[in-house]
Structure 1
Amino acid sequence: MGGTTQTDGRRERSRRTAAKIVTAARRRFVENGYVETTVESIAEAACVSPQTVYYVFGTKPRLLDAALDATIAGDDQPVALIKRGWVDAVETATDAEGAVRAIAALAVAVLARVEPMLEVARRAASVPEVAAIYDETRRRRRLDQRQLVELLAGHGHLRDGLAVDDAADVVYALMSEELMVSLVTECGWSVERFGDWFADTLVAQLV
């Protein structure tokens, strides 16, 4: 019993250390860019040694990947976005519009959170490892979005005649950081206004 308690304690300390490093890395990457950010500066911000950063994450690209994952998820728990509790709002929606609006609310929250980190990766895409991370992040996002569309289709929430493939393409095009940057950053919309427009547009396209 004592050994199990000690092991659990070490795991929790390791988890907290990793989370602290990821938080510091995310802040430094957004402030200074990927290339300009050093492991030493991340370690200083996290109040750990550079050796600890390397021990936990191995390389700076792997740390960027971890920071992106944590930003998308909103925490450091290893649970896929599609398997999180918010899906209950889609599952229990009594009508198609309510289900689509639940998805839209999640999408806007995630986009607002992750857009700065995606911009970090995009700007550093000349680094091969970063380009691979950026591409994989977008690939996983498209897969998650298709699963959401399949969930809607399974509950009969897609409008008649709309194929899952076509709906998934529409969702991928609309649920993008580029669109949010265009309307919020460049056109000056508030995130709330963007969220309302996005939900209305998604309902119009899918329902």
Structure 2
Amino acid sequence: MSEAVKRTYSSQLRSAQARETRRAIVAAASRLFVESGYGATTTEAIAEAAGVSRKTVFTAAGGKADILRLAIEWAVAGDDEPTALVDRDVVRRLLAEADPVALLRGWAAVIADIDARTARLLTALEAAAASDADARELADRFERQRLAGARRVVDRLSALGALGLSRRDAVDLAWLSTDPVLYHRLVHTRGWSARRFEKWLAETLCRQLLGG
């Protein structure tokens, strides 16, 4: 094996190890944020749960707010790949859908899938936002992203001539209907199945947004 190949292999190995360390830190922090709350979770606790040093936590994933952001972003996407959800094939296909009902059913499926991974984390974030400036900024950021997603779907429905109300009202209702707190309350608190929630959400979106 040449020196160049050895260096490339060594670099790839270090990169893979760093990624695994980062994943372990984010996974450990996610559990602690949900179980103990954002404010009560210390960097030392994250390090201990992940089996690394406090310094490694900062080096690999950043501070507590950075880790929570990563945890939520990865939960939304379903992995730690750098491609944003809006640029992924599942969303591209969804926004190319020509049948308004199929579009909303597909969107409800995507939302329910995301909520299953993020609802508890976002509940922890919302609680932290009441007293922590970093958490508040992060919560506002994810709210803006969710609103942007609602606008994209509503604009597609409008282009299809399918809206049964004004664009502004449609955006507001779409944004409200996809609040993860609904999933948290109905599935985690009231015991609904994820499939029942998805069906309810699809029916609600169709009823609220479509004309005729």
TM-score, with length taken from structure 1: 0.88
In structure 1, which of residues 132, 144, 152 is the aligned counterpart of residue 137 of structure 2? 132
Asked whether the equivalents of residues 128 and 135 of structure 2 are also in contact (C-alpha less than 8 Å), the reply is yes
Give the equivalent residue in structure 2 for 1:179. 182
C-alpha RMSD over aligned residues: 2.1
Q: Output one character per residue of 1:135-167: Cα deviation in whole Å (capped at 9) or x when no partner.
A: 11111221122223334444x1x5256444332
Give the equivalent residue in structure 2 for 1:31. 35
Q: Output one character per residue of 1:96-137: Cα deviation in whole Å (capped at 9) or x when no partner.
A: 211111111001111122110011111112011111111111
Is 1:145 equivalent to 2:150 in the alignment?
A: yes
Give the unaligned 5+ runs of structure 1.
Answer: none
How far 1:197 moved relative to its partner?
Answer: 1.0
Is 1:58 equivalent to 2:62 in the alignment?
A: yes
1:87 alignment partner AA: V
CA distance in 2, matches of 1:123, 1:40: 21
Task: Return closer, same or farther for 1:50/1:99 CA change in 2, 3 Å cut-off.
Answer: same
Q: Output one character per residue of 1:58-82: Cα deviation in whole Å (capped at 9) or x when no partner.
A: 3111111111111111111112111
Task: Return closer, same or farther for 1:91/1:148 CA change in 2, 3 Å cut-off.
Answer: closer
In structure 2, which of residues 85, 105, 108 is the aligned counterpart of residue 81 of structure 1? 85
After TM superposition, the structure 1 stretch with the greater mean CA deviation from structure 2, 144-153 or 174-183, is: 144-153
1:120 alignment partner AA: A
In structure 2, which of residues 15, 18, 21 is the aligned counterpart of residue 14 of structure 1? 18
2:78 alignment partner AA: G
Give the unaligned 5+ runs of structure 2.
Answer: none
CA distance in 1, matches of 2:23, 2:55: 16
Asked whether the equivalents of residues 71 and 114 of structure 1 are also in contact (C-alpha less than 8 Å), the reply is yes
Asked whether the equivalents of residues 75 and 118 of structure 2 are also in contact (C-alpha less than 8 Å), the reply is yes
After TM superposition, the structure 1 stretch with the greater mean CA deviation from structure 2, 97-106 or 32-41, is: 32-41
Kindly tell me the number of residue pairs found equivalent between the two proteins.
205
Task: Return closer, same or farther for 1:177/1:160 CA change in 2, 3 Å cut-off.
Answer: closer
CA distance in 1, matches of 2:204, 2:164: 18
Task: Return closer, same or farther for 1:5/1:153 CA change in 2, 3 Å cut-off.
Answer: farther
In structure 2, which of residues 201, 205, 209 is the aligned counterpart of residue 206 of structure 1? 209
CA distance in 2, matches of 1:35, 1:179: 24
